[in-house]
A and B are shown apart, each in its own frame.
Chain A
Amino acid sequence: MKRLLLLFLVLATAVAWAQTPEEKGLAIAKEVDARDTGWGDFQAKMSMLLRNRQGEESLRQMRVKSMEVQGDGDKTLIVFDEPRDVKGTALLTFSHKTRDDDQWLYLPALKRVKRIASRNKSGPFMGSEFAYEDLASQEIEKYTYKYLRDDQLEGAPVFVIERYPVSHYSGYTRQVVWIDKARYIPLKIEYYDRKNSLLKTLVFEDYHQYLDRYWRAHRMFMRNHQTGKSTLLTWKEYRFRTGLKDSDFTRNSLKRAR
């Protein structure tokens, strides 16, 4: 029995050893996803401080509601509070694992709900350095992966993996992701543009743990190396398992959102 177990261990190690960088990258991504599954729903406040090359700042404030969907991507509702001229504008997203996300935009001045083309994912979100695709639900199926190396980031042991967007409409050729080995959470992402030159770096800071399990960065700092602009995204007042239902993520709920 002992010998059998030893044989099994040897075999298992051999299999692990035989893992290609692609397999290992995917395995890490799957573990990241698995550890962040089961949170149910959350509500939070989000603000973005935009800074241009001259140091001029402008502020965006919004509220976010999100819900996990079994077997598919999350449902998310974002309601804008600032700038004041877009107050009440709301964006409803049904993200999907393999096909394009469904998105509806509500324009309060006209009371109009507009279905919008979600392939416009590489565009800036609210004039910030975050593209829609950076903020979208990060489904495993949206990328292919490759493990690069083990490393250290500010003293923390990390996996460094590379991922390649599946969608042709992505603004990136690749992203390099630093993943904390202990917690399986991203610490840093480098985004490479369509010409494969370094475009942006995102740093995750101030992680808090919710429901004794789920890690959320309260600060996400995106720096655009090509334009000199940056955006500091701050999360506040996270509340998990607030009892959100499908009926909170509908075209009617968009119009009620305040």
Chain B
Amino acid sequence: MAAPGGALATKGRVVVRRLSLLAFLSLWALPAAAWEWSGNAAVEGRLFFQSPLDPRQYDQDGSVSFDPELAHEWNQGRDLFVFHPFLRIDARDDERSHWDIRELQWTHAGDGWEVLAGVNKVFWGVTEAWHLVDIVNQTDLVENPDGEQKLGQPMVKLSLEREWGILDLYALLGFRERTFPGLHGRIRSHPRVDGDLAAFQSGAGRKRVDFAVRWSQSIGDWDLGIAHFHGTARDPLLLPAVNRKGERVLAPFYDLIDQTSLDLQATLGQWLWKLEAIYHHSDYGSFYAWTGGFEYTLVGVADSAADLGLLGELLYDQRGDRSSTPFNHDAFVALRWTLNDEQSSELLGGFIVDWRNRSTLIDVEGSRRLGNDWKLSLQLRAWLDVDADDLQYPFRRDDYLQLELARYF
């Protein structure tokens, strides 16, 4: 197994590792038929079209990943155990070679309530371009610059499901640091972020217990969620520093925050209307941000079985150019082409443009099943006219094509 990045070798991780070992040992003692493995193994290639800003960065990269899940259900589905590790071995970037426990959890469901204990992944939100309100899990940034891949979060969750909606209460046991590409990695800041220098506002550091609560409800055509998070920010402030080797780097600083959020979707015929908004408060500043828009689906375009989705979203952050996100006054426009064929072929193409500084990110994502068990995925990202004040400025020479071939089992 590849050594996890130094920044990740935390005590919480050791506990997780011991737990997983224990789980592994106890599992194999039980009848095999009741347990089910699924998941995929994949090879991935990344090709960059331009030479890097830093000559130490790679031009082409290859990696393999293993993403299995072991699940067991008993008590008529009222009890569920899931073990879901993840491993990637990357040819060029030491920080991208990493492993994680995405899930190691037990869920028990009663009538109208549910408890979950262990490592878990939680998604909040409705929009497509940027997941603003999604805060429970840390981003596994080395996996994908879009931030959609997440690290497992140890937690205890109680969920009440009643006429008045769903109330989720979370105690988040310990903090996971964001992963950052290493010295040789592409799509990174200049200088790079050195996770070993991570600092925390909370004296409890990585052992701090954070809290979150979310109420959500479906009322007719409307789906609504209101949440509050109190704890260590998932999104660090990045401060110039010099590491032990004398290298000029950025050091992550994780402050304590309170974040209140709203997510809302109206499903009106072929229109989906979406809004996510947050109010973020910490000793280092307060701000609000929102993102919202629509998705309109044309069903059966040109007498075919295919659907064509038109997506438009706006992204706003009160901090403007001082935001920790590049999407602070941006617009997202995209087409989603769903073929509805036997291979479940899909293609999404669009761009996010900053309406003040014109910086543009082009994004194309596609996938297609090959036979019954294989899947080919494509990602193409390119940056155009990136302004020096835009947070994407360091990526201006990082246009890339990524192909992944995965075998599912």
Contacts and interface: CB of A to CB of B under 8 A. Distances in A.
B138 interface: no
Contacts of A85: 40, 344, 369, 373, 375, 406, 408
6 closest cross-chain pairs (CB), A and B: A84-B408, A127-B342, A111-B123, A112-B123, A124-B340, A85-B408
Interface string A98-118: 001010000000111111111
B54 interface: no
Nearest to B222: A115
Contacts of A116: 267
Interface string B112-150: 101000000111011000000000000000000000100
The listed residue with most A CB atoms (<10 A of its CB), out of B265, B342, B406, B408, is B342
A117 B272 contact: yes
B107 interface: yes
A37 interface: no
A87 interface: yes
Interface string B263-296: 0010101111000000000000000000000000
Interface residues of A, number: 40
Nearest to A231: B342
A10 interface: no
Given A83-B373, A85-B408, A117-B270, A123 B218 contact: no
A256 B120 CA distance: 12
A189 to B, nearest CB: 19
B300 A123 contact: yes
A84 B166 CA distance: 30
Interface in B330-362: 340-344
Contacts of B223: 115
Contacts of B267: 115-118
B307 A120 contact: yes
A82 interface: yes
A245 B372 contact: no
A112 B369 CA distance: 21
Contact of A258 (B80, B272, B344, B408): B80
A58 interface: yes
Given A58-B372, A123-B305, A169 B299 contact: yes
B161 interface: yes
